[in-house]
Chain A
Amino acid sequence: MNSNGASSSATDGVRDSNPPKRNSKRPKYSKFTQQELPACKPILTPAIVITTFALIGIIFIPIGLASLSASERVVEIVDRYDLDCIPEQLRNDQLAFIQSSQTNKTCTRSVIVPRYMKSPVFIYYELDNFYQNHRRYVKSRSDKQLRSKASEQDTSTCAPESISSDGSPIVPCGLIAWSLFNDTYSFSFNNEVLMVNKKNIAWGSDKSHKFGRDVYPKNFQSGQLIGGATLNASIPLSEQEDLIVWMRTAALPTFRKLYGRIEEDLQPNQKITVVIENNYNTYSFGGKKKLVLSTTSWIGGKNDFLGVAYLTVGGLCLFLALVFILLYLFKPRTMGDPSYLSWNRNAAGYAD
């Protein structure tokens, strides 16, 4: 019965191949209109499947190993200080401690360098449970105001921190700027101060285009509630790098922000003394504060995830490739065998 169909389709083609008449509606022949464009028809043949899996494995495993070793080489010191920096007697009322202006918030801690840390050593502060990605927070800023003095009045998006009591605009306005982080760190080793470089910790593009040279802080932190750091009103926003870093709001509720760099190599087992001004209030929402010292590598900071993931996926793919090779060896199937067509295999039962 199949031969019938085949022969008729062949004649169909021939029948209409006579040359077109003048003014005829005959469609013009082109490979495009007849859907006969040269096409690539990828089929998942065993060879292709095995090659694909093997290739993924072969490429992924080295990448995984490389990133894992890079991550291993990164030296990271994490020191949580939010609880320890409250004097014992005040631990029952952390909020009172942090909100009071009378208490001494200076706190001295020491960290030990576990391995050799090549400069630059990056200093981060890490906050936890701080939803910098909350919609109310993210929206509460005015990029126009930050950019130029001319748009100083442009505080409509900044509520509830848009204008001061006398109705003049707050510069920089908005919740983000208001809640600027204000703990400070200073480092010393054997009573010798380790210099912290706080220059160029923000993106150059932000400094040059998003924060104006002619915009100076105004009415900042003048409300009843002080959110965080105050700004030096004589320095333009483009130079206030801590603010610029802070205003690049974090994507996730646990985040790090760059504080500065120590541009000295740190030797193993060095004991570094850190003096922390513990000003920032994370106690009201139970957020942790951590100080992080870290070197860097080509994949960034210390994170094994990429390496492990690449290794796992690569390994899995190699395994699959192996499985398919075995399948192919022990249960081969000829390609293009029409006897596998269901109606061919069951021709007798077909009563048409």
Chain B
Amino acid sequence: MELQRFESSAASAMPEKFNKSQRARPKSVQFDDQFSLEDNPSRLIYINDPRKTNDKYEFTGNEIRTSKYTVITFLPKNLFIQFHRVAYLYFLAIAALNQLPPLAVFGRTVSLFPLLFVLFVTAIKDGYEDWRRHRSDRNENNREAEVLQSGQFRPKKWKRIHVGEVVKIHADETLPCDIVLLGTSDPNGIAYIQTMNLDGESNLKTRYARQETLSMFSEGGSFSGLIRCEQPNRNIYEFTANMEYSGMKIPLGQSNIVLRGCQIKNTDWVVGVVVYAGQETKAMLNSAISPSKRSRLESYMNRETLWLSVFLFGMCAIVAVGMGVWLRDHKAELDTLPYYRKRYYTNGRDNGREYKYYGIPMEIFFSFLSSVIVFQIMIPISLYITMELVRLGQSYFMIEDIQMYDSGSDSRFQCRSLNINEDLGQIRYVFSDKTGTLTENKMEFRRASLYGKDYGSSTFMKKTSSAEAVGQRWKLKSEINVDPELEELLQRDLVGEERLAAHDFFLTLAACNTVIPMATRNCSGDEMHDEVETIDYQGESPDEQALVAAASAHGYTLLERTSGHIVVDVLGEKLRLDVLGLHEFDSVRKRMSVVIRFPNNTVKVLVKGADSSILNILESVIDYGDLGAVHSQIRRETEKHLNGYASQGLRSLVVASRDLNELEFEEWQEKYEEASTSLTDRSVKLRHAAALIECNLNLLGATGIEDKLQDGVPETIESLRQAGIKVWVLTGDKQETAISIGLSCKLLTPNMQQIIINGTTENECRRLLADAKTKYGIKVVGHGNKALKKKKSNENILDGCGDKKNSTNMSSIDNRSEAFRNGGITGEICENLPDKVLELTANPLALIIDGNSLVYILEKDLEPELFDLAISCNVVLCCRVAPLQKAGIVDLIKSRTNDMTLAIGDGANDVSMIQMADVGVGICGQEGRQAVMASDFAMGQFRFLKRLLLVHGHWNYQRVGFLVLYNFYRNAVFVLMLFWYVLCAAFSTTSALTDWSSVLYSVIYTSVPTIVVGVLDKDLSDKTLLRYPKLYEAGHRQESYNLRLFWITMLDTLWQSLVLFYVPVFTYSNTTIDIWSLGSLWTIAVVVLVTVHLAMDIQRWVFVTHIALWGSIVTTFLLMVVLDSIPIFPNYWTIYHLVSSRTYWLTIILIIVIALLPRFLYKVLQQLPCGSYYYQYFEDRPQYHLLIGTVYNEIQDP
């Protein structure tokens, strides 16, 4: 339904739930951070008196500053911000340690190099970005607008505009600040604006100047008055203020304010008074970026980093203790040992003093610290930077993917968050909005139920593209089908109950909305009528547009709309109707009404809204005898039709009206006026006013609007389901509509058992849930204390996962996968909860639950019950849910399982859900850009989700997982190699490698191939991944990154480092080899080794990969040559001597082969068929089957 506006009232409906979700995600931007006037004094603005306005309060000027730095503050501030990252602090701490004299392991400048390098690069990037912001700020600030200065409008720079000044904006100009309209070129005070810059919606919206202020112009430009408004806030859909002007108190609302960034369209000029300027404008307050999320893999990675820290600590401890023992054993000789010499014997000033010796305990301590310095890269700090670069590259490819480009809306894929690319490969739950996400949100008027009669079902539908049937000069932009039978009814004279009902029906459709008719003269178009006007209906709700267009097709054309009146062309006759009041749609009432005064002075309230909200407030018909019988018959028929529409997947609205008598009208008007001028609780007071007249309504009929399914939705859902992803649909639509859409998009299948939970009380819900559970055999044993149970089950989930990762027990994997298959997609979690017994049912289950029940379930203690039930079902459909309930459901899964959730939606009502889920995807659709702004990824069509998850998600996950493990390996093998050497150097932290080589190893020698592979490598082609959605489950099973792989990698690392160290040691034992030659050999060997290791794991070689890999080996060689050509280094000329030696080359080749042999064998055993062992082992790993199976097919495929 029309839940476009994310009303604050919806938020207050579920405060409890909301608080909970806030706790869960404290950082998320909540859209309803409401201000309240009780806490904040209101803001006083004296119109056209900026001095007085700004005298008392310090309002900001209109100068904006989005830049972070100035020339002076750049260096300190940028450094300060950069050092917020733990990685840099680690670098800094290590570099600082190295400056201490007893610890100076590396040369002082060398040790600072990596930190300075990273800081410098980041500073350059930040500086460039900030320079661009400065430039755009300067451009913005220096734009000019006409400001009233001493009685005349004169141009003034934007940055000099102050609050309280009166500005004049011309057509197509952009607003410099938030202004309250005082007058426009339109005599009725209408202004059309485009809010593209604000919320991305391209349709025009209307804003009104109050009729009262228009007189300021007639009186010759004497602007005066006092505006009392709320403090600046970021809610762009609300504005509460009033204006005191010549003794009157005039209410001001959302429709009277135009915000910075909007453009004036179709209006020659507007004049308004500045209320918010500069940083206080709503646009600027809204420019906060979406909160950053951290990927699941990264948090696992941190866990492994902890292990690496343990290793680091262990190694340093060994060195320190070894040093202590060695010192103790050689205590007597220390003075004379030629290679230690702890004393000066130089006859000079220092004679007899101890040289760099601080006693054994201190030596142990220093030895520990200096080994931390030497082994520092064991903690792969550079990995964080590498990962950022890799994700950037992956995002580039996602954005550039032609197959995720939507030509309809001309939108590419967007990556708004760079931190969670790999999460896309592990999604287990997809929460989808329906309208605009599964469906197109392009509404088409299909059916009407009028006076108990259903129109539009006949197949003979006439297509009208204009209202020519009634002989008019305008035509519609869209085509509407008209039922001939209905048309015939409308041709009749205006007598008879049915005809009158039809009249009111279409009048309501035409009048009861906020749509603006835009007439454009069409000169080029029609040959027959040169003067044809095209009417384009601009509105915020596609439903309303469809209804107005339908009314027009049936002869009731809305021609004009101002704040005070509308003009409707009724079958050729222009009818001017005064609009006395308008109660906008809100998600609590779920209806909208207008109060209209007809030319004959009768007052009517016209209402349209959701069936549930209107059928309850219809006039009771029992007392009316015959007529009553007819009415109740009509009502029954209409309800029947409504159910019929819903089952066809149509969106239904009920239309009703009522005459107001004088008394009722006056009572309402008084309340309405008071409510709409009130500054506090305006929406609540308005709701009370609406309740006065929205009662005892006459039912006129109902409409059915079709919301077409988007392309490829059923296929996408089917693929996601095969991929083991559960799709839950959360919609504001009614149950029948939701079920029918569910069926048409293959979410529900006919053989599914539908469990419908429709409770109206807590107990009923409890009973329904319990019934469903017993019926379908979902048993929960051991109901204890609930809080305890929740905690326990969470632990179990964690245990289960850990177990799964470590498990090398083939049969247990086998059993699990067996149960997994039999139980549909649901088995996994249940199995990890040993206290649950999942009895397998023959048919898959579908849970359908409505918003009402969710109120009871989510707010009370029934959450665990719902959770148990929901995860046992293959499909969950939630209907009639409020925006925050959507977030609540996401939270239900997120807080209770370890599974990744993805929320996809297009409207403002999906924002909370998108922010709550691990991954939020926005659809750039019809309902504005709120969802996109809040999302992590945005795309044009729902069907791209398949490619996004199955292809890019899989790739990203696999790439990043590999990247992390490889980086751990790459750094650890290097550190271990150093470690073995330290053991051979009397535990003194000597490094055979030169300082530069140690530092450049992870920065230059081996960094590029890692990044290239992390961006470009693919294990399987997109075609294969799309053809076998099951491959996605590799991500669910955490195949690319888990604790087991980590330990295997570490074992491999240990082996490789031993080979790396001992092969040269044995080869060169008892020779004249010097420390730099051996170090040089090790440098080359380790670089070649890790590169070849990477090469072995690359699954797809493109030329870039070749360049990066072999290029980095060559670069390393060249750099070694350069470093060895500088005579001041002790290692001078070493490499030249080495390359001429055969032993050197033979040693390197031997190292590479021996080091990689076990890994190669492991890979071969994984991928080669070798008997029954193979089948068992790879039972659960289809990826490897494919490597031999499908991919091979693919290669044979030309």
Contact = CB atoms under 8 A, between A and B. Distances in A.
A253 B984 contact: yes
Contacts of B1186: 341
Contacts of A132: 339, 1075
A119 interface: no
Contact of B1077 (A251, A313, A351): A251
B1161 interface: yes
B528 interface: no
Q: Which 8 A-B pairs have the closest CB atoms?
A: A165-B347, A205-B1133, A333-B1169, A179-B338, A135-B988, A251-B1078, A8-B715, A33-B400
A313 B105 CA distance: 38
B835 interface: no
B1093 interface: no
Interface of A: 1-2, 4-6, 8-9, 11-13, 15-16, 18, 21, 24-27, 29, 33-35, 37-46, 49, 52, 56, 60, 63, 67, 124, 126, 130-138, 141, 143-144, 147, 159-167, 175, 178-179, 203, 205-206, 209-210, 222-225, 227-228, 248-258, 281, 284-285, 298-301, 303, 305-306, 309-310, 313, 316-317, 320, 324, 327, 331-333, 335-338, 340-343, 346, 349-352
Contacts of B712: 8, 11-12
A284 B345 CA distance: 17
Nearest to A24: B410
A179 B339 contact: yes
Contacts of A11: 712
B1153 interface: yes
Contact of B1150 (A209, A210, A251, A306): A306
Contacts of B1188: 43, 45, 333, 335-336, 340
B1068 A254 contact: no
Interface in B993-1040: 1016, 1018, 1022-1023, 1026-1030
A131 B986 contact: yes
A1 B822 contact: no
A24 B410 CA distance: 6
14 contacts: A35-B1016, A41-B1100, A44-B1168, A130-B338, A132-B339, A134-B986, A164-B348, A223-B346, A305-B1067, A306-B1146, A310-B1146, A324-B1168, A349-B822, A352-B874
Contact of A337 (B333, B1132, B1189): B1189
Interface in B331-352: 333, 336-341, 343-351
Interface in B1145-1198: 1146-1147, 1150, 1153-1154, 1157, 1160-1161, 1163-1164, 1167-1171, 1178-1182, 1185-1193, 1195-1196
B1154 A285 contact: no
Nearest to A324: B1168
Contacts of A45: 1188, 1192
Nearest to B1170: A327
A27 B405 contact: yes
Nearest to B712: A8
A351 B824 contact: yes
Contacts of B1180: 342
B340 A34 contact: no
A309 B1150 contact: yes
A8 B1146 contact: no
A336 B333 contact: no
A336 B1189 contact: yes
Contact of B985 (A16, A27, A135, A258): A135
B1191 A313 contact: no
Contacts of A249: 1074-1075
Contacts of B340: 131, 134, 136-137
A35 B1189 CA distance: 22
B1069 interface: yes
Given A27-B400, A285-B337, A341-B1028, A258 B348 contact: no
Contacts, number: 350
B624 interface: no
B347 A164 contact: yes
B464 to A, nearest CB: 30
B407 A160 contact: no
Contact of B1153 (A38, A161, A313, A352): A313
A99 B196 CA distance: 93
B407 A18 contact: yes
A248 B1065 CA distance: 17
A245 B1018 CA distance: 52
Given A38-B1102, A310-B1150, A223 B990 contact: no
B1069 A252 contact: yes
B1103 interface: yes
B984 A338 contact: no
Nearest to A7: B715
Nearest to A337: B1189
A12 B1179 contact: no
B1170 A331 contact: yes
Interface stretch (B264-272, B607-615, B717-725): B717-725
Which of A16, A179, A209, A351 gathers most chain B CB within 10 Å? Answer: A351
A252 B1067 contact: no
A160 B346 contact: yes
B410 A27 contact: no
Contact of B403 (A4, A13, A252, A256): A13
Given A136-B356, A342-B1181, 14 more contacts: A12-B943, A13-B403, A25-B410, A67-B1146, A161-B341, A165-B347, A249-B1075, A251-B1075, A252-B1069, A285-B330, A331-B1171, A341-B1190, A342-B1185, A352-B874
Contacts of A9: 1023, 1026-1027
A224 to B, nearest CB: 4
B1146 A228 contact: no
B785 interface: no
Contacts of A34: 400-402
A341 to B, nearest CB: 5
A42 B1098 CA distance: 8
Contacts of B943: 12
Given A209-B1127, A303-B1067, A331-B1171, A250 B339 contact: no
Nearest to B1172: A331
Contact of B339 (A5, A137, A350): A137
B823 A349 contact: no
Contacts of A222: 347
B1193 A135 contact: no
A40 B1100 CA distance: 6
Contacts of B1026: 5-6, 8-9
Interface stretch (B140-148, B672-680, B911-919, B1135-1143): B1135-1143
Interface string B808-832: 0000000001100111110000000
B1193 A130 contact: no
B1137 A203 contact: yes
A217 B137 CA distance: 68
A27 B401 contact: yes
Nearest to A49: B1164
B360 interface: no
A144 B1128 contact: yes
A205 to B, nearest CB: 4
A338 B1190 contact: yes
Contacts of A159: 344, 355-356
B784 to A, nearest CB: 32
Contacts of A178: 338
Contacts of A331: 1169-1171
A138 B993 CA distance: 12
Nearest to B1082: A251
A236 B1016 CA distance: 58
Contacts of B1129: 143
Contacts of A29: 402
Nearest to B1096: A42
B715 A4 contact: yes
Which of A4, A43, A135 gathers most chain B CB within 10 Å? Answer: A135
A313 B1157 contact: yes
B1100 A39 contact: yes
B274 interface: no
Contact of A37 (B350, B1074, B1104): B1104
